[in-house]
Amino acid sequence: MSSNFVGADETLFRIVESLVETGPMGVTETADRLDLTKSTAHRHLQTLAALGYAINDDGTYRLSHQWFHIGVGVKSREPFYRASRRPLQTLADRTVKTAWAAVEEGGKLIFVNGAGANPTHNPDILVGSWSSITKTAAGKAILAHLPPSRVADILESNDDDEPFASVDLQKELESIRSRGYAMNQGEIISGISAIGMPVVVDNTVYGSFAVSSSSEELTDDDREEALDALSDAVNRTRDQLTAHIN
């Protein structure tokens, strides 16, 4: 633990993250799982409940919807999210596939919105989830347009990306910049492929769009239609962001 961290705060967030991962827990289970004393676990859980961030159901604690309220507030203040909502829905409607909007934060990719009714890939599966920035079309599209120094920092700090040889990755990023879009062929979910494009305004990467579907549906024959729809979504979002900036 860094000397700059507040130990009690770190413990509190470890408890929160554990509740997210495992679901409701009692004091004993929390203490055992995180190697805490029961009194420490009890104090933190009581604090969460007293402040409205957890619900105490007869000694079993679960996170409250206050976290949902915070998440919605964070998302709603994000310029890219606001600008991309309508273009994203239009993208899903035009392609009849699942469409995503994603952003990079702290070297990771998070899907901030999804649309479409593709039964093989429900948008609710990934919205709000962190994902690999080098194995997704949305992530690769962003990575290809970040400054080289930023790319190097991301890869150095991201354990998930250790298997990627620097030379191979640079070649793929160059190819993405050249053709204008990124691809993912079952690298995250077997049988699901995707294509993605970044949204860049004044050399700043705000996020990306991606369209995903079963592998056979994103073949060379029908990829152009999806690319046209992606390009339109990118342009509409870029226009709104430009207007917001100015």
What is the band of 52 on the pLDDT scale with cuts at 50, 70, 90? very high
DSSP state of 58: T
Question: In this structure, what are the phi and psi dihedrals at residue 234, rounded to the nearest 5 degrees?
Answer: -60, -45
Q: What is the pLDDT of residue 160?
A: 56
Q: State yes or no: pLDDT of 49 exceeds 60.
A: yes
Best CA proximity match to 234, nearest among 133, 81, 136, 87:
87
Q: Which residue has the higher pLDDT, 9 or 119?
A: 9
Q: At what angle do helices 66-76 and 79-95 cross, to 10 degrees?
A: 90
pTM summary value: 0.82
Q: What is the pLDDT of residue 208?
A: 97
Domains, the chain, with CATH or none: 7-64 (1.10.10.10), 73-245 (3.30.450.40)
Q: What is the pLDDT of residue 214?
A: 73
- Residue type present at position 158: N
What is the band of 170 on the pLDDT scale with cuts at 50, 70, 90? confident
Which range of 80-89, 117-126, 167-176, 181-190 scores highest in mean pLDDT? It is: 80-89
22-49 mean pLDDT: 95
What is the band of 145 on the pLDDT scale with cuts at 50, 70, 90? very high
- Residue type present at position 107: G
Q: How far apart are CA 49 and CA 116, in angstroms?
A: 37
Which two structure tokens, joined as six digits, stand for 71?
Answer: 């998440």
Q: Would you state the torsion angle of the CA atoms of residues 150, 156, 158, 164, taken in this order, to the nearest 10 degrees? A: 100
Judge whether 102 and 139 are in contact, CB under 8 Å.
Answer: yes
Best CA proximity match to 124, nearest among 133, 139, 114, 112:
114
Q: State yes or no: pLDDT of 188 exceeds 70.
A: no
What is the band of 55 on the pLDDT scale with cuts at 50, 70, 90? very high
Q: Which residue has the higher pLDDT, 217 or 70?
A: 70
Q: State yes or no: pLDDT of 3 exceeds 70.
A: no
Q: What is the pLDDT of residue 1?
A: 46
